[in-house]
Amino acid sequence: MNSRLIRGTLPPDAGAPAANDAAPASPGPDLGDSRLYINRELSQLQFNIRVLDQALDERTPLLERLKFLLIFSANMDEFFEIRVAGLKGQIALDHEMIGPDGIPPKRALAEISEIAHRQIARQYAILNERILPELATHGIRIVRRTQWTHKQKMWVRRYFREEVAPLVTPIGLDPTHPFPLLVNKSLNFIVRLDGVDAFGRDSGLAIVPAPRVLPRLIRMPLEICEGGDNYVLLSSIIHAHAEELFPGMAVLGCYQFRLTRNADLTLDPEDVEDLALALRGELYSRRFGDAVRLEVADNCPKELTDYLLKQFGLNESEMYEVNGPVNLARLFRIANNVSYPKLQYPPFTPALPKALQHAEDLFEVIGKQDVLLLHPYESFAPVVDLLRQAAKDPQVLAIKQTLYRTNANSEIVDALVDAARAGKEVTAVVELRARFDEESNLTLASRLQQAGAMVIYGVVGIKTHAKLMLIQRREGSELVRYAHLGTGNYHTGNARLYTDYSLLTSDEALCEDVHKLFSQLTGMGKVLHMKKLLHAPFTLKKALLELIARETAHAGAGKPAQIILKVNALTEPKVIRALYKASIAGVQVDLIVRGICSLRPGVPGVSENIRVRSVIGRFLEHSRAYWFANDGEPQLYLASADLMERNLDRRVETAFPIEGKKLQHRVRQALELYLTDNASAALLQPDGEYLRPAPAAGEPIRNVQAELMEKLCGAGAGGAH
Q: Does residue 49 belong to any structural domain of this protein?
A: no
Q: Does residue 125 belong to any structural domain of this protein?
A: no
Same domain, 160 and 308: yes
Q: In sequence order, what are the beta bridge partners of 297?
A: 322
Average confidence (pLDDT) over 432-460: 76
Structural domain span for residue 392 = 354-531
Is the pLDDT assigned to residue 407 strictly greater than 80? no
Give the per-residue pLDDT at 238: 95
Average pLDDT of every residue of the chain: 89
Is the model more confident about 363 or about 175? 363
Of the candidates 285, 162, 174, 103, which has an alpha carbon nearest to the alpha carbon of residue 688?
Answer: 103
Instruction: Name the band, by pLDDT with cuts 50, 70 and 90, for residue 226.
Output: confident
Give the per-residue pLDDT at 92: 85
Give the per-residue pLDDT at 249: 87
Q: Does residue 86 belong to any structural domain of this protein?
A: no
CA dist 640 and 500 (Å) reads 10
Average confidence (pLDDT) over 408-425: 89
CA dist 669 and 255 (Å) reads 55
Same domain, 499 and 512: yes
Average confidence (pLDDT) over 222-237: 93
Of the candidates 12, 11, 78, which has an alpha carbon nearest to the alpha carbon of residue 41?
Answer: 78
CA dist 501 and 511 (Å) reads 17
Q: Are 598 and 576 in contact (CB under 8 A)?
A: yes
E strands, 287-358, are 291-297, 319-322
Average confidence (pLDDT) over 578-582: 98
Buried b / exposed e over 173-202, threshold 16 CB at 10 Å, is: beeeeeeeebebbbbbbbbbbeeeeeeebe
Same domain, 606 and 690: yes
Collapse the DSSP code of 158 into the 3-class scheme (helix H, G, I; strand E, B; otherwise coil) and give the result.
helix
Q: Does residue 121 belong to any structural domain of this protein?
A: no
CA dist 616 and 48 (Å) reads 10
Q: How many CA atoms lie less than 13 Å away from 251 in the CB half-sphere?
A: 21
**Catalytic pick among 465, 484, 535, 721:** 465
Q: What sections of 254-373 are H helices per DSSP?
A: 275-286, 302-312, 332-335, 354-357, 362-368
CATH number at residue 279: 3.30.1840.10
Q: Does residue 479 belong to any structural domain of this protein?
A: yes
Collapse the DSSP code of 406 into the 3-class scheme (helix H, G, I; strand E, B; otherwise coil) and give the result.
coil
- pLDDT tens-digit series, residues 518-569: 999 888 777 889 999 999 999 999 999 999 999 999 999 999 999 999 999 9
Same domain, 482 and 585: no
CA dist 343 and 358 (Å) reads 35
**Phi-psi region for residue 94, left (φ > 0), alpha (ψ -120 to 50) or beta?**
left
Cβ within 8 Å of residue 94, ≥6 positions away: none
Same domain, 670 and 588: yes
Give the per-residue pLDDT at 96: 81
* In the chain, % of residues over pLDDT 70: 89
Last residue of a domain, one of 478, 498, 531: 531
**Phi-psi region for residue 199, left (φ > 0), alpha (ψ -120 to 50) or beta?**
alpha
Angle (CA) 192 197 199, round 5° = 135
Is the pLDDT assigned to residue 11 strictly greater than 70? no
Average confidence (pLDDT) over 328-355: 91
Chain centroid offset of residue 343 CA: 24
Is the pLDDT assigned to residue 114 strictly greater than 90? yes
Same domain, 431 and 562: no
Average confidence (pLDDT) over 591-612: 97
Amino acid identity at 458: G
Same domain, 330 and 378: no
Q: Does residue 708 belong to any structural domain of this protein?
A: yes
Q: Are 569 and 38 in contact (CB under 8 A)?
A: no
Q: In sequence order, what are the beta bridge partners of 456?
A: 429
The arrangement of strands across the sheet holding 291-297 comes to: 171-172, 205-209, 187-194, 250-261, 291-297, 319-322
Is the model more confident about 277 or about 417? 417
Collapse the DSSP code of 178 into the 3-class scheme (helix H, G, I; strand E, B; otherwise coil) and give the result.
coil
Same domain, 374 and 523: yes
Residue numbering of the annotated binding site for Mg(2+): 405, 435
Q: For residue 402, what is the enclosing H or E element? A: strand 396-403
Q: Does residue 53 belong to any structural domain of this protein?
A: no
**How many domains, the chain?**
3
Same domain, 618 and 581: yes
Same domain, 202 and 229: yes
Last residue of a domain, one of 278, 308, 342: 342
Q: Are 590 and 534 in contact (CB under 8 A)?
A: no
Same domain, 507 and 613: no
Chain centroid offset of residue 692 CA: 22
Q: In sequence order, what are the beta bridge partners of 140?
A: 229
Residue numbering of the annotated binding site: 75, 405, 435, 498, 594, 622
- pTM for this prediction: 0.90
Same domain, 414 and 558: no
CA dist 564 and 625 (Å) reads 8
E strands, 129-215, are 140-142, 171-172, 187-194, 205-209
- pLDDT tens-digit series, residues 280-296: 554 445 455 789 999 99
Q: Does residue 429 belong to any structural domain of this protein?
A: yes
Is 465 marked active-site?
A: yes
Is the model more confident about 5 or about 694? 694
Of the candidates 98, 91, 45, which has an alpha carbon nearest to the alpha carbon of residue 290?
Answer: 91
Of the candidates 626, 621, 633, which has an alpha carbon nearest to the alpha carbon of residue 655?
Answer: 626
CA dist 244 and 103 (Å) reads 52
CATH number at residue 361: 3.30.870.10
Average confidence (pLDDT) over 455-461: 78
Angle (CA) 304 308 313, round 5° = 145
3-class SS letters over 545-577: HHHHHHHHHHHHCCCCCEEEEEECCECCHHHHH
Collapse the DSSP code of 608 into the 3-class scheme (helix H, G, I; strand E, B; otherwise coil) and give the result.
coil
Q: Are strands 690-691 and 681-684 parallel, antiparallel or unpaired?
A: antiparallel
Is the pLDDT assigned to residue 717 strictly greater than 80? no
Average confidence (pLDDT) over 207-218: 93
Instruction: Name the band, by pLDDT with cuts 50, 70 and 90, for residue 23.
Output: very low
CA dist 675 and 672 (Å) reads 5
Collapse the DSSP code of 189 into the 3-class scheme (helix H, G, I; strand E, B; otherwise coil) and give the result.
strand
Collapse the DSSP code of 469 into the 3-class scheme (helix H, G, I; strand E, B; otherwise coil) and give the result.
strand
Is the model more confident about 41 or about 226? 41
Is the pLDDT assigned to residue 348 strictly greater than 50? yes
**Phi-psi region for residue 714, left (φ > 0), alpha (ψ -120 to 50) or beta?**
left
Q: What sections of 79-208 are H helices per DSSP?
A: 85-92, 105-126, 132-137, 150-159
Last residue of a domain, one of 342, 368, 385: 342
Give helix then strand counts, H and E, for the chain. Answer: 21, 27
Binning the chain into helix, strand and coil, the percentages to the nearest 5 are 40, 20, 40
Taking only Cα atoms into account, the Rg of the chain, rounded to an integer number of angstroms, comes to: 28
Q: Are 351 and 379 in contact (CB under 8 A)?
A: yes
- pLDDT tens-digit series, residues 648-676: 999 999 999 999 999 999 999 999 999 99
Separation in Å, CA 103 to CA 97, 485, 579 = 9, 38, 22
Residues in the chain: 721
Residue numbering of the annotated binding site for ATP: 75, 498, 594, 622
Is the pLDDT assigned to residue 718 strictly greater than 50? no
Give φ, ψ of 171 to 5 degrees: -125, 105
Is the pLDDT assigned to residue 442 strictly greater than 80? no
Give the per-residue pLDDT at 200: 64
CA dist 562 and 559 (Å) reads 10
